């Protein structure tokens, strides 16, 4: 049976979909069978990041309405044969899609996978509760800003009312130069504030925000790899986002970034 993660945040635009796609892909590359479920009904874009846009015949609303089985709606990603996508409904609002319907759909495919990741919509409305009710564990994505941390704190308190077996945080878009100059929160500041374990730290990386999709080898690739090792229960040191900005060359890099 798969371990089912919901990837959530509270504040929008912090990188949930980007991380869901990239963590899913890295796990698939490690030989794990992974399904990523687009829980962001209407404003979906997980299909684009996993390369299955326009490849889906059925979506989650077809499964819930009984037009097809969940297995038939799964689309294999061209990025890796172990990565499958369950696309969300393409209609804008789908209140008729119940949490129970999505839960049954996910439960019917979980035997085929090692991991299922459910990409959550922003906010704490119906879509959030629908996605969380399907999961065993939660990953809360947070960026190192006060607003994001405050929203994550609210989300974590709501998540605690669910019977989840774990809640972890990923700090996304961290900048080592800003942390060293005291202009940004560090992952330790965030961990101490939220009192939830940090699963990983992902640097702010132009490669991740580019329109190309696929597996990244650079800094963000290393950081995502470290997260996936931890998810697989292996020992892994978190990505050292400060290393680049320490020592002789690091100081020059930091100064150049400051002048930009
Ligand atoms: N580590 C990163 N470095 C640089 N850009 C990033 C990083 N993570 C995400 N982004 C960019 O931030 C933007 C928002 O990312 P994404 O759509 O994944 O956020 P989201 O939390 O899913 O948003 P929403 O709440 O609207 O669903 C995208 O343009 C993405 O490419
Ligand atoms: Mg998203």
Q: What is the pTM of this model?
A: 0.93
Parent domain of 155: 3-259
Number of domains in the chain: 1
Reduced to 3 states, what is the DSSP secondary structure of residue 70? helix
Assess whether the C-beta atom of 226 lies below 6 angstroms from ligand 1.
Answer: no
In this prediction, residue 85 carries a pLDDT of 96
In this prediction, residue 214 carries a pLDDT of 74
CATH number of the domain to which 143 belongs: 3.40.50.300
Q: Determine the residue of 13, 43, 127, 206 to mutate for testing ligand 1's pocket, defined as the one with the most ligand atoms within 8 A of the Cβ atom.
A: 13
* Dihedral sign computed on CA atoms, order 223, 109, 3, 163: positive
Assess whether the C-beta atom of 88 lies below 6 angstroms from ligand 1.
Answer: no
- Cα 182 to middle of ligand 1, angstroms: 24
Write down the H helix ranges in 77-218: 99-109, 126-132, 146-159, 176-180, 187-194, 206-209
In this prediction, residue 90 carries a pLDDT of 67
In this prediction, residue 93 carries a pLDDT of 55
Q: What is the mean pLDDT of each run of 10 residues along the chain (260 residues)?
A: 95 94 96 94 79 88 90 96 90 67 94 97 90 96 97 97 97 94 94 96 88 78 96 92 82 76
């Amino acid at each position: 049976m798969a371990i089912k993660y919901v990837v959530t945040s509270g504040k929008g635009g912090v990188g949930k979909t980007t991380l869901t796609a990239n963590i899913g892909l890295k796990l698939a590359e490690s030989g794990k069978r992974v399904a990523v479920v687009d829980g962001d009904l209407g404003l979906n874009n997980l299909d684009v990041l996993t390369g299955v846009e326009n490849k889906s015949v059925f979506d989650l609303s077809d499964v819930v309405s009984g037009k097809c089985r969940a297995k038939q709606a799964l689309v294999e990603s061209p990025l890796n044969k172990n990565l499958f996508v369950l696309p969300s409904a393409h209609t804008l609002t789908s209140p008729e899609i119940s949490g129970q319907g999505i839960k049954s759909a996910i439960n019917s495919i979980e035997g085929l996978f090692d991991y299922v990741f459910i990409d959550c919509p922003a906010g704490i409305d119906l879509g959030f509760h629908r996605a969380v009710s399907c999961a065993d564990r939660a990953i809360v994505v947070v960026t190192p800003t006060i607003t994001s941390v405050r929203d994550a704190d609210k989300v974590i308190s709501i998540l605690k009312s669910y019977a989840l077996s774990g809640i972890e945080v990923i700090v996304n878009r961290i900048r080592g130069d800003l942390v060293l100059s005291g202009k940004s929160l560090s992952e330790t500041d965030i961990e101490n504030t939220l009192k939830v374990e940090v699963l990983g730290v992902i640097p702010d990386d132009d490669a991740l925000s580019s329109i190309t999709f696929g597996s990244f080898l650079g800094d963000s690739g290393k950081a995502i790899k470290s997260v996936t090792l931890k998810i697989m229960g292996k020992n892994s040191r978190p990505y050292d986002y400060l290393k680049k900005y320490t020592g002789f060359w690091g100081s020059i890099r930091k100064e150049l970034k400051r002048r930009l």
